[in-house]
Structure 1
Amino acid sequence: MKMNHVGIMVADMDKAVEFYTKALGLEVVMGNTQVIEERETAIGRMCIAVFGEGFQGFNIAHLITSDGIGVELFAMKEHQPRHIVDFTRLGIFHFCLQTDDFDEVIARTSQFGGKVRMDIMRYHPEDDSKQAKMVYLEDPFGNLFELYSHSYAETYASNYE
């Protein structure tokens, strides 16, 4: 099994594309594109199945990480105000990115309208040979994401050197 992409709801597509490309370094595969409710195409029928009748249309952009994972940004015409994270709700509540440019990505996150949600944390502060760091951040629309300085295996494996 491989991760292919993640879909993220945003309120302003231009601001979202700017944030995800300039703050986080993703690349645009397909720029801001309008999708309307229609039944003539497979995509149109799929959108009705997913979003329901009368979804009013949306804009979508497709971005990609340096390791090939897709990020779909959705800006619905009828969007909700910024959400408050409800940790009682089941489902995905964040995604995680990894970078070699940890401190600079954190700075750019704030510069482009995101938030730093916590102090930077080391997973193994008692072991100077393990330098894995993490932080929770937020995009300009309230979507949580985590930032890692090291790979998943380096961060969690007890025997990883």
Structure 2
Amino acid sequence: MSTYPRTFSHIGISVPNLEQAVKFYTDVLGWYLIMAPTEIVEDDSPIGEMCTDVVGAKWKKFKIAHLSTGDRIGVKLFEFDNQENPEDNFEHWKTGVFHFCVQDPNLEELAEKIVEAGGKKRMAEPRYYYPGEKPYRMIYMEDPFGNILEIYSHSYELTYAAGAY
């Protein structure tokens, strides 16, 4: 099998309240709702069996919604019955997803919109990758549910092509 760069399809994010998360991600980030919140139950249906394959037995039920970003990347939001909200969801030293990143040329405006919607800044101010040379900047945030998201002002390729550090 040859090696080539695969495209990114979607990411799954756990949240404590699916309806609030759908509202946040559609109203604040402008993502499209492509499948409304749906309850999935543990049973012998094809979807029930598939979920048992993934998470194991005795999951009972969960809610899921499907969204899409402006560049057609899928976002699955999950609300599980036994959802836990850690006080600090940023255990960066543990294996797993560290954060996800969105891009907006007006990142300061988006950062304020996230704060107004109940999220928070993890950095006091955006940082410049090439101070005085290029306007490429970033900031780490949290959504209202404790998930870590980063905002870039420019594309990943532009930011790192010249070696950002």
Indicate if the aligned counterparts of 1:22 and 1:108 stay in contact, CA closer than 8 A: no
TM-score by length of 2: 0.90
Structure 1: gaps (5+ residues): none
Q: After the TM superposition, which segments of 4 or more aligned residues of structure 1 sit over 2 Å from their partners?
A: 81-84
Task: State the 1:126 CA deviation.
Answer: 4.0
Equivalent residue letter for 2:129: Y
Distance 2:149 2:21 in 1: 14
From 128, 152, 162, the equivalent of 1:158 is: 162
Indicate yes or no: 2:128 matched with 1:122.
Answer: yes
- The CA deviation at 1:9 is 0.3
Q: TM-score, normalised by structure 1?
A: 0.92
Deviates more, 1:149-158 or 1:86-95: 86-95
Describe the superposition over 1:21-49 as per-residue Cα deviations: whole angstroms up to 9, x where unpaired.
Answer: 111111100011111111222x2111001
Shift of 1:112: 1.2
* SS of residue in 1 equivalent to 2:86: coil
Counterpart secondary structure, 1:17: helix
Equivalent pair of 1:117/1:136 in contact (CA under 8 Å): yes
Q: Count the aligned residue pairs.
A: 157
Correspondence 1:66 to 2:70: yes
Shift of 1:141: 1.2
Is there any run of 5+ residues in structure 2 with no aligned partner, and where? 1-5
Query: Which residue identity does 2:31 align to in structure 1?
Result: L
- 1:12 aligns with one of 1, 5, 17: 17
Work out whether 1:98 is the aligned partner of 2:103: yes
